[in-house]
Structure 1
Amino acid sequence: MTHEIKQLFHLASQWQQHGRKSVLVTVVALDGSSYRRPGVRMLINDNDEVFGAVSGGCVEKEIQLQAQSVLKTNIPKVMTYDGRLRLGCEGILYILIEPLHLSDELLETFNMVLKNRSAFKTESYYTSIVTESESLGTEIVLDGKRFSLRSEFKPSDKEKMECFTQTFPPLFQLYIFGAEHDAVQLSLAASNLGWEVTIVADPNESKTLDYFTGAAHLITPTFEQLNTSEIDEQTAVILMTHSFNKDVQYLMALKDVSPAYFGLLGSVHRRERILGKFLEYHPETDTEFLEQIYGPAGINIGAESPAEIAISVLAEVLSVVRKKTPMPLREKIGNIHV
C-alpha cells in the first residue's frame, strides 16, 4: 500500500542519515494462502531494528536471521517459507531480501510524486528458488524515471528472472467536513489506516490542527473559497458539520466532484431534508451525483459512540472503494481475499 512504502522510505532515509545499513524485505510470490499477500514489505537495519511485518508473526524471526548475511555481504537473496510445515500460514512465501540505499534524487522524486498525487510502480526481480545473487533486486519507476533501490543494482538477464510488479495509486485521503468531537475519532481511525486526513472547518473555528489527532491538514475556507481540485478518485468525503445549513452549502460547493466515497452523517430524514434543500438551489443536478451519496453514512453494526461510528463509516468506505458487500467472513465461501 502507498502509505506503507511512504513510511518505509521515510524511516530508511532516517537510518541512512545516522549511518545505519538496512535491508528491504518483500514478499514477491505466494503459493497458497497467507496473512498478507505479495507486495507486503518490512525493513531491518544492522542494529536489529525492524519496521513492518510480512505475516501475522510466524516468519519474521527467520527473516531477521536470513537478513544478517545480506547486511554483511550486500548480496541479495531469495528465501522461502513453507507455512504448511509449521503452525502458521498455510502457503509458501517467496521472499526477496535486498540491501536498501535510497539516493537523494530518488527521495526527492518520490516526494514530488506523492505531492502531485501521481501513481508509481515497483519491479522486483527474483527467482523462485533459494539463491543469493547480485542480479536480484528492485527498481522503482517514478514520473517515468527508473531508480534502483541500491546504487550498484542493474537488472541483467531480465528474461531469465521472474518479476513482481506492483502499482501504487496516490495516497488515499479523507476530507472531513466538520470540526466537532466526533471528527477527532474519525480522523484518528482513518490515520491508523494510513489515510491522509484533511479537516475542513468554518473560517471562525478556534480549534487548531493539534486537536484533530491523526489529521495532516486543517483548512478553514469560506464556502466560495473551497478548493475541490484535489478531491479525486482516491478521496473519501464525509459531511458531518452537525449544521443543516452548513451541510447544504458544502454540498453545493462539492456538486462537481466525483470522490471514491461521499458520505453524509445523520438520519434518513435529515438526508432527505438536505438533498431537498440542495435541489431547490440546483434542480438541474444529475441524479448520478445524488446517487453517489451514502447517507446515513456507515454500515449497520449497532454503532453508538463516536469511536464506534468512525469504525462503521470507515468500514463502509473500504467496502465501497474495494467493491465488497459487507458480510461475516465465516459466511464467505472460498478465499478471503477474492
Structure 2
Amino acid sequence: MTFEFKNCIHSFKKAQKKGIKTVMATLVALEGSSYRKPGVRMLLCEDGKHTGAISGGCVEKEIQKQAESVFQTNQPKMMTYDGRYRLGCEGTLYILIETFHPEEALLQAFENAVAGRKPLQIKTYYERQLGNSDHWGSQISFDTNKWFALANTSQAESKARTTALVLEQQLQPCFRLIIVGAEHDAVHLCLLASVLGWEVVLVASALSTKTPLDFPGVHQLLKLEPNEVQQQAFDEQTAIVLMTHSYARDLQYLLAIKDCQAAYIGLLGAKARGQKLINELVEQQPELEEAFLEKIHSPAGLDIGSITPQEIALSICSEILSESRKREAGSGKQEVRRGREPTTINNKP
C-alpha cells in the first residue's frame, strides 16, 4: 500500500498549489467482510476529487458527504458504513476522516524514505464511536524516533494517552520489478507492472539506443552490463525478470545477481532453455545456495494459455504477485496450474 500513500501525497501537493483543502479517510476497523481491509486510505479534495478508494465503489460517495464537516471544522470524525443494508460490502466499516495537511518536514522525510527504499510506520488512534474528537488521528514515522502528525495542527502528542484503540501499520518499500532486456515484449510487461503500482526499472545493454519514452510507465532506465548489475542492491521487495532474448546475456545477468536478495527471478523462454541456464549456472557456481535456486521460475509466469506479449505480461505479473503475497496461485481453482516444474539440477560428472 506504499504506492497508494505515495499517490495520496502527490495529489495533496497538487491540491495545495491550488489552495484546495484535503482530508484523509482511513478504514480503521471492520466487522464482517469488505472489498478492502483495515489500513487502506483515500485522499479527498474539497472540490470532489479523490485519490484511492476504501472499497470497490459502494462507500466512497458517503465518505465524501461525511467529509464536508471535516473540511469546515478540521476535527477528526468517525463514521460507519453498514454495507449489509446497502447491497454493497457485506460488513460494517469504521472509517476515520481527518484533515490532511502535513508539514514540509514530513513530505521531505517521505520522499527520502521512498527514494532510499526504507519502511515507514503509521499509527492511527481512534474509538469505535460516532462523532468528532481532536484526540483521534494519524501519525507517521520513518525511524520511530520522531512522529509526524498528518495535519500540522493536530494534537499528535496527546493521542496515545487519550484513546483506547490504535491501528498500527508498517509499510514496506514500493514493490519493484527489474526487467532485464529492452525488446518489444518488455514494453507490455513494463506498462502492466506500472498499472499495478510497481516501481519498474528497465535494464538495457550499455549500447542500447532506447530511451524512457520507449517504455510507458517505467520509473528508471539503466544501461548496464552484467558486471555493473552485480553492484546494484536488490532487496526482498524486488522481482527480476530476465528477457534479453540472448542465452549468453541471460546467463551473464543470472550470474551477476546470484547473491541478490530479490524475492523472485523469472526466466523468459522455454522450460528446456531455462533448465539449461540453471545447469550452466550451477556448473560455474557449484557453491550456489539452494535458496537462490528456489527463487528461479522457468518459464516465468503462470500457465494461463498466454500467447500474445500482453498475455505473457499478465501471466508473469500474476505469478510475481502470487509469490510476493506468499500464497499459492490459484488455490482452490483447479484450472490454474504452475507455469513450471520444480527446478532440478543436473551436475555433469
TM more than 0.5: yes
CA–CA distance in structure 2, aligned partners of residues 48 and 313 of structure 1: 37
Amino acid at match of 2:9: F
SS of structure 1 residue aligned to 2:301: coil
1:96 paired to 2:96: yes
Amino acid at match of 2:155: K
Amino acid at match of 2:160: K
Aligned pairs for 1:252-271 within 5 A: 252-271=255-274
Instruction: Tell me, yes or no, if the aligned pair for 1:125 and 1:162 is still in contact at 8 Å.
Output: yes
CA–CA distance in structure 2, aligned partners of residues 5 and 288 of structure 1: 32
CA–CA distance in structure 1, aligned partners of residues 258 and 57 of structure 2: 46
Instruction: Tell me, yes or no, if the aligned pair for 1:228 and 1:257 is still in contact at 8 Å.
Output: no
Query: How far off is 1:42 after superposition?
Result: 1.2
SS of structure 2 residue aligned to 1:199: strand
CA–CA distance in structure 1, aligned partners of residues 181 and 60 of structure 2: 42
CA–CA distance in structure 1, aligned partners of residues 279 and 270 of structure 2: 14
SS of structure 2 residue aligned to 1:62: helix
CA–CA distance in structure 1, aligned partners of residues 159 and 147 of structure 2: 17
Query: How far off is 1:17 after superposition?
Result: 2.2
CA–CA distance in structure 2, aligned partners of residues 52 and 303 of structure 1: 30
SS of structure 1 residue aligned to 2:330: coil
Bigger mean CA deviation after superposition, 159-168 or 182-191: 159-168
1:146 paired to 2:156: no
Q: 2:223 corresponds to which residue?
A: 220
Aligned pairs for 1:150-299 within 5 A: 150-155=151-156, 156=158, 158-159=160-161, 160-299=163-302
Identity %: 46
Q: 1:10 corresponds to which residue?
A: 10
Q: 1:37 corresponds to which residue?
A: 37
Quickly say closer, same or farther: Cα 1:99–1:202, change in 2 above 3 A: same
Quickly say closer, same or farther: Cα 1:143–1:202, change in 2 above 3 A: same
CA–CA distance in structure 1, aligned partners of residues 320 and 229 of structure 2: 23
Q: 1:315 corresponds to which residue?
A: 318
SS of structure 2 residue aligned to 1:64: helix
Query: How far off is 1:330 after superposition?
Result: 6.9
Query: How far off is 1:227 after superposition?
Result: 4.5
Quickly say closer, same or farther: Cα 1:102–1:304, change in 2 above 3 A: same
Q: 2:52 corresponds to which residue?
A: 52
CA–CA distance in structure 1, aligned partners of residues 159 and 275 of structure 2: 62
Quickly say closer, same or farther: Cα 1:329–1:58, change in 2 above 3 A: farther
CA–CA distance in structure 1, aligned partners of residues 321 and 214 of structure 2: 25
Query: How far off is 1:228 after superposition?
Result: 4.2
Instruction: Tell me, yes or no, if the aligned pair for 1:13 and 1:102 is still in contact at 8 Å.
Output: no
Bigger mean CA deviation after superposition, 196-205 or 142-151: 142-151
Quickly say closer, same or farther: Cα 1:196–1:321, change in 2 above 3 A: same
Amino acid at match of 1:119: P
Instruction: Tell me, yes or no, if the aligned pair for 1:30 and 1:91 is still in contact at 8 Å.
Output: yes
Query: How far off is 1:300 after superposition?
Result: 1.1
Query: How far off is 1:49 after superposition?
Result: 1.6
Bigger mean CA deviation after superposition, 210-219 or 48-57: 48-57
Query: How far off is 1:29 after superposition?
Result: 0.5
CA–CA distance in structure 2, aligned partners of residues 62 and 161 of structure 1: 26
Instruction: Tell me, yes or no, if the aligned pair for 1:241 and 1:247 is still in contact at 8 Å.
Output: yes
Query: How far off is 1:288 after superposition?
Result: 2.9
SS of structure 1 residue aligned to 2:186: helix
Amino acid at match of 1:100: F
**1:165-196: CA deviations, max 9, x gaps?**
11100111000000011101100110011110
* Aligned residue among 297, 300, 303 for 2:303: 300
Instruction: Give the superposed CA RMSD.
Output: 1.5
Q: 2:343 corresponds to which residue?
A: none
CA–CA distance in structure 1, aligned partners of residues 46 and 245 of structure 2: 51
Query: How far off is 1:20 after superposition?
Result: 1.1
Query: How far off is 1:286 after superposition?
Result: 2.7
Bigger mean CA deviation after superposition, 269-278 or 242-251: 269-278
Instruction: Tell me, yes or no, if the aligned pair for 2:282 and 2:288 is still in contact at 8 Å.
Output: yes
**What is the number of equivalent residue pairs in this alignment?**
331
Q: 1:131 corresponds to which residue?
A: 131
**1:86-133: CA deviations, max 9, x gaps?**
110110000000111011110001111111111111111111011111
Query: How far off is 1:136 after superposition?
Result: 1.3
Amino acid at match of 1:147: F
SS of structure 2 residue aligned to 1:213: coil
